Amino acid sequence: MAGGFSVSASASASSGTEFEAKITPIVIISCIMAATGGLMFGYDVGISGGVTSMDDFLREFFPTVLKKKHEDKESNYCKYDNQGLQLFTSSLYLAGLTATFFASYTTRRLGRRLTMLIAGVFFIVGVIFNGAAQNLTMLIIGRILLGCGVGFANQAVPLFLSEIAPTRIRGGLNILFQLNVTIGILFANLVNYGTAKIHPWGWRLSLSLAGIPAGLLTLGALFVVDTPNSLIERGRLEDGKAVLKKIRGTDNVEPEFNEIVAASRVAQEVKHPFRNLLQRRNRPQLVIAVLLQIFQQFAGINAIMFYAPVLFNTLGFQSDASLYSAVITGAVNLLATLVSVYSVDRVGRRMLLLEAGVQMFLSQVAIAVVLGIKVTDRSDNLGHGWAIMVVVMVCIYVSSFAWSWGPLAWLIPSETFPLETRSAGQSITVCVNLLFTFVIAQAFLSMLCHLKYAIFAFFSAWVVVMSLFVLFFLPETKNVPIEEMTAERVWKQHWFWQRFMDGDNHHIVNSAGKINTV
């Protein structure tokens, strides 16, 4: 390797030294601004459950559901089982999972920052459509535009955060995205709690207030600098170095700069990032990214997040009390995410996921048992004490999700793909996440109707599977610099993934700057 260095393992990678980096105000402020992309995602996730349980909204767009809701003969578990209603919630996810592929192109070619700006514009137009909706078509078009915003934002924001952050606090800063998701959900729950009392246009206010997060992201994207990795990837080496000095608070950025330049040389050679993603040596990251998303959704969180008000209604709480419970779960979700911000770079990713697995499993089983014994098809009679117990169990479940699968399913893919496939990899991540979010959103009400309480047993079985996956297949990525997340440093050390590295071709950038494959 004389006279050059391997992109897969630079000198600093093998010694494991850290680059010089101060925690500068500009990094913190940039991350806070960019992370508002999560706010919009969270608001959209959180708002639909409350809105779809408001009578005024149902009367205007889904009169048959309204009728069913007030008919006593309908089974408790089946009141809301309506494909049209589910499509309102789901259309956003379908749009998002398609849009993310366009966003992959823009994050690579136009940069992370501009992609966030595009997301902001989509959000603003979508909010206008939704807030002003006169008919179902306008409502769905609005949701689709918001979905495009989610596709662009969820593509760009996690990458932005992981790239701009100093290694030792990368996990914590990346989780600001998820923290914003949870703030968005809570904000949406609070808004619904208030607007449910405003007749007949409370729902309109709920949908319009999404303008606040939309505006924040747009402003944020105007003010932040792009990441050095993205600038260098697009050939703007000097700008990249200047930004690196600014964000790291030191002039001594040469080692990190060189590492990014080397990674970007390889990236420029790659003409078809999605095809590259399928190469054997990229298998571990790809498999991990895809499975983390599927598992995140099959943990069942959105069954609770979208439908908490509906769910609590089903359990026999009155309309107001059910929104109240949704606010409680929203608050728990937010506070528990802070635990993750604090601990992810200390105890590591694996530890959080494994601990949470136990907690999620036990709480879901408990919920299934209580509902199974206490809620029958026709009787709302859960009883005060049992109802409280269910809410407590839901909170235990939500808190453990919030410090594990919630943030880490976004963090880990954004930090494990090499620069050359990072945008493509993130697209797959967003696409699979939204696809399965869609599946759950579309299927949950029907599943609740057919499986009844066993739906929680179903999710708990998935928790076992995903915890075993973490135990055996997920390497720890805490404290590994992002451009060193490579074969030598990570995958060749792993008992299983090392087999994908055998006979692997390595790109070597020689001193003349040429890439050789050895």
Q: Which is nearer to ligand BGC, 31 or 92 (CB)?
A: 92
Q: Across-strand partners of 510?
A: 4
Cis bond before residue 166 (omega within 30° of 0): no
Terminal Cα distance for the chain, rounded: 10
DSSP characters over 18-49: PPP----HHHHHHHHHHTHHHHHHHHHHHHHH
Q: Which is nearer to ligand BGC, 292 or 382 (CB)?
A: 292
Q: Which is nearer to ligand BGC, 51 or 301 (CB)?
A: 301
- Residues in the chain, how many? 518
What is the residue whose two structure tokens read 């930090």?
Answer: 415
Q: Which stretch binds ligand BGC (CB under 6 A): 11-19, 165-173, 180-188, 413-421?
A: 180-188
Q: Which is nearer to ligand BGC, 302 or 313 (CB)?
A: 302
Q: Which is nearer to ligand BGC, 96 or 166 (CB)?
A: 96
Contacts of 307-313 spanning 24+ positions with Cβ under 8 A: 307/49, 307/80, 307/444, 307/445, 307/448, 308/49, 308/189, 308/394, 309/49, 309/50, 309/53, 309/192, 310/49, 310/52, 310/53, 310/79, 310/80, 310/445, 311/448, 312/391, 313/53, 313/79
Q: Which is nearer to ligand BGC, 87 or 198 (CB)?
A: 87
CB 177, min distance to ligand BGC, A: 9
Q: Which stretch binds ligand BGC (CB under 6 A): 79-87, 179-187, 236-244, 499-507?
A: 179-187
Residue of the chain from 8, 104, 115, 178 that contacts ligand BGC (CB under 6 A):
178
What residues between 286 and 345 interact with ligand BGC by CB under 6 A?
Answer: 296, 301-302, 305, 333
What residues between 411 and 440 interact with ligand BGC by CB under 6 A?
Answer: 433, 437
Q: Which is nearer to ligand BGC, 397 or 410 (CB)?
A: 410
CB 36, min distance to ligand BGC, A: 15
Q: Which is nearer to ligand BGC, 104 or 437 (CB)?
A: 437
Site string for ligand BGC, 88-117 (x = CB under 6 A): ------------------------------
What CA–CA distance (Å, rounded) separates 37 from 232? 24
What CA–CA distance (Å, rounded) separates 454 from 392? 19
Residue of the chain from 10, 104, 174, 182 that contacts ligand BGC (CB under 6 A):
182
Cα three-residue angle 272-273-274, rounded to 5 degrees: 95
CB 185, min distance to ligand BGC, A: 6
CB 412, min distance to ligand BGC, A: 12
Residue of the chain from 406, 413, 425, 481 that contacts ligand BGC (CB under 6 A):
406
What CA–CA distance (Å, rounded) separates 454 from 368? 6
Site string for ligand BGC, 29-58 (x = CB under 6 A): ----------------x-------------
CB 198, min distance to ligand BGC, A: 26
Sequence-distant (6+) residues with CB within 8 A of 142 are 126, 127, 128, 129, 130, 131, 133, 207
What CA–CA distance (Å, rounded) separates 186 from 182? 6
Q: Is 166 exposed, middle or buried (0-12, 13-18, 19+ CB in 10 A)?
A: buried
Nearest by Cα to 315 from 330, 302, 326: 326
Q: Which is nearer to ligand BGC, 80 or 93 (CB)?
A: 93
> What H or E segment, with its residue span, contains residue 255?
helix 254-269
CB 258, min distance to ligand BGC, A: 34
Angle, in degrees to the nearest 10, between helices 349-374 and 405-416? 150
CB 433, min distance to ligand BGC, A: 6
Q: Which stretch binds ligand BGC (CB under 6 A): 175-183, 220-228, 310-318, 504-512?
A: 175-183
Helix (H, G, I), strand (E, B) or coil at 224: coil
CB 468, min distance to ligand BGC, A: 21
- The answer to whether the beta carbons of residues 415 and 478 sit under 8 Å apart is no
Site string for ligand BGC, 214-253 (x = CB under 6 A): ----------------------------------------
* Residues near ligand BGC (CB under 6 A), total: 14
Query: Which residue has its beta carbon closest to ligand BGC?
Result: 406
Return the sign of the alpha-carbon dihedral for residues 440, 45, 62, 322. positive
Nearest by Cα to 158 from 447, 408, 395, 346: 408
Binding region for ligand BGC (CB under 6 A): 45, 178, 181-182, 185, 296, 301-302, 305, 333, 406, 410, 433, 437
